[in-house]
Amino acid sequence: MDVILVPGFWLDADSWGESLRPLKDAGHRVMPLTLPGKESPAAGRAGIGLRDHVDAVVDVVDSAEEPVVLVGHSGGGAIIHAVADARPDRVAHCIYVDALPLGEGGVINDEFPSDGDSIPLPGWDAFEEADLRDLSDELRQRFRSVAVPEPVGVATEQQRLGDERRFDVPATVIACEFSENEVLEFIRRDSPFTAELAKIKTRRILELPTGHWPQFTRPDELGELLARIVAAVDGADGPAEADRDITELQRETWSDESDTAYLRDD
């Protein structure tokens, strides 16, 4: 199955690292993307906005022969949600890695300081403690060594959506900084934070306790979870069967001794 992975801010295709191995070992066609303006620190970023990144992913979806699985980390979650809006019949499943779908008119983050057309990776004091969980000094150095400035327009341009069939595209959220119960409580309170997620008809929440960058802090576990979700989607005869398979994975994981678990949204 084709699996398209969209990185978050300051990251390119290589950032998924060892998280890709279980997907490749399972025989899937894995396509991590480097989006426009993030090819290198010296790349031009003038005039590049959120829609440019969405369109770049749409082009890859259109090149696939069958419906794809989209994986979006952090700000990449907003991008894959817009792609599901643009191509609801071409997306089999969306996986949000420590991310949530962004609704109409929202922006990913317009608070990071910019330098011209770019948003460089800021100092670590710009992040919450929960973001940095498990991100050791060594991993922080590694992250900073590969970080690429984000185009300002990607962070600040408003999300534009127009097809409510996006809510028919099943979704799994891999929650790293929030528990399933916390996410469900946001939904119960009609929080804007989860307003778009609440409208998705088939959704599951999975916990992978760590900081905001699990591809650095828990790459093996992230890769295994991605592979198991994609296996459920790939082997199913439609979204309903895929959801049943993921529910079965929940039961299996509950019996594991690991601290990851698929959690019901019943």
The string of pLDDT tens digits covering residues 163-176 is 999 999 999 999 99
Helix (DSSP H) and strand (DSSP E) numbers for the chain = 10, 9
CA distance 36 to 55: 10
Over residues 204-224, the pLDDT tens digits come to 999 999 999 999 999 999 999
pLDDT band at residue 261 using 50, 70 and 90 as cut-offs: very low
Helix runs in 127-266, H state only: 137-146, 152-156, 180-188, 195-199, 214-217, 219-234, 239-254
pLDDT at 253: 47
Over residues 13-54, the pLDDT tens digits come to 999 999 999 999 999 999 999 999 999 999 999 999 999 999
Q: Residue 258 above 70 pLDDT? A: no
- pTM value surpassing 0.85: yes
pLDDT at 264: 33
| Residues 6 or more apart whose Cβ sits within 8 Å of residue 72 | 5, 6, 8, 78, 79, 80, 81, 94, 95, 96, 97, 99
Q: What's the 3-state SS for 169-192?
A: CCEEEEECCCCHHHHHHHHHCCCH
The closest alpha carbon to 218, from 16, 13, 6, 8, belongs to 16
Q: Residue 252 above 70 pLDDT? A: no
Domains of the chain, residue spans: 2-263
Over residues 136-167, the pLDDT tens digits come to 999 999 999 999 999 999 999 999 999 999 99
The closest alpha carbon to 1, from 90, 113, 87, belongs to 90
CATH no., domain 2-263: 3.40.50.1820
